[in-house]
Amino acid sequence: MSTPAAIAGPAARARLDRSRVGPGLVLLVPSVVYLLVMFVYPFAYGVVLSLRPGPGAGGGLSLANYLAFLTDPWQARTIWVTASIAVPNTLLTVGLALVVAYAMRRGIWLERTITTVLILPIALGTVLVAEGINGFYGPKGWPNQLLVAAGLGDPLRLTHNYTGVMIALFVQHFPFCFLMLLGYISGIDPALEHAARILGAGPWAVFRRVMWPLIAPGAAIAFALVFVMNFGVFPSAVLVGQPAGATRTIAIAAYQQAFEHYDMSMASAVAVIMGACQLVGLAVVLLLRGRLRATGVATLGAGKR
């Protein structure tokens, strides 16, 4: 763009810029309007709502809702509960997906079948998966029946607790994360790996010195997305968890405020706090990614060769 403009001189450049920018801006209008009406307005409305506590509290803005939530141990605890599900689950999901995707990067036997089976949980939806987990891992499910039949002890409690939510979230998010990483990793030129091998790198050195630096940016994005999804966990926490105790996540707290106490203002405050926590998680991931870049690792993603 700069070359023809530089040759044409300032006047022509101004003309050129206007002729390019004008119609472009007009074409942007529908999408901007859509974003404003469908996203920015409801979001801003929610934030303002959260700052106007109580039906009878007049028109002034106040932080009362936030203070009430954060000072009530029963409520504030949900942040810790949610994080203690979201962080380990994200690490587990991304870590395992990374291992499996890396192993499958050059294609394996029955790859299409395996991929289809892995995608199924995404297609089936959260509720069906949760019901399936309740049945399968529950007291009458195969694993526990086998355990008892083999005389190995009492049935394990795998549902309606922390473990149940961990299983459900893993089943839902692993395929998504796996497919994303598989696409990323198989996009890396196999010749890079071959070059490293011939130069003397064993499989581990290939991963550490060549593949991981190229995968890291993609893994960071996968981590961020899975973390955000995990932090917002609601259906699984209710259906396979223990929504009154061990898995009372922040989303459940918001739901109760909105539809059990009918306090939309408080519910909005809880939702904003949840959003802030998710942003903190994203910031940490991006910070780590930036650190990688600064040390010379991950200067380029796989797609930018």
* Site residues (vs another protein, CB under 8 A): 189, 191-192, 194-202, 205, 209-210, 213-214, 296-300, 304-305
* Unique residue bearing structure tokens 């109760």: 256
CA distance 7 to 17: 14
| Nearest approach, Cβ of residue 146 and another protein (Å) | 40
Which of 47/192 has CB closer to another protein? 192
Cα–Cα distances in Å, from 143 out to 110, 118, 127, 131, 157?
A: 26, 20, 21, 16, 11
Q: How far apart are CA 279 and CA 115, in angstroms?
A: 31
Of the pair 158, 214, the CB lying nearest another protein is at: 214
Of 128 and 288, the one with the shorter C-beta distance to another protein is 288
Task: Select 196 or 272, whichever has its Cβ closest to another protein.
Answer: 196
Nearest approach, Cβ of residue 216 and another protein (Å): 9
CB of 301 to another protein, least distance (A): 9
Query: Measured from the CB of residue 127, what is the shortest distance to another protein in angstroms?
Result: 43
Class of residue 129 by CB neighbours under 10 A (exposed 0-12, middle 13-18, buried 19+): buried
Minimal distance, residue 296 CB to another protein, in Å: 8
Helices (H), the chain: 2-8, 10-35, 41-50, 64-71, 73-103, 111-124, 126-137, 142-149, 162-186, 190-198, 203-206, 212-231, 235-239, 250-259, 264-294
C-alpha angle 123/187/112, rounded to 5°?
A: 40
260, exposed or middle or buried, with CB in 10 Å at 0-12, 13-18, 19+? exposed
> In whole angstroms, how close is the CB of 288 to another protein at the nearest point?
16
CB atoms within 10 A of CB 169: 26
The CB-of-188 to another protein minimum distance in angstroms stands at 9
Question: What's the closest the beta carbon of residue 223 comes to another protein, in angstroms?
Answer: 19
Residue 151: how many CA atoms within 13 Å on its side-chain side?
A: 0
Which is nearer to another protein, 76 or 292 (by Cβ)? 292
For another protein, the closer of residues 68 and 297 by Cβ is: 297
- Cβ closer to another protein: 158 or 196? 196
Our CB check for another protein shows the closer of 199 and 280 to be 199
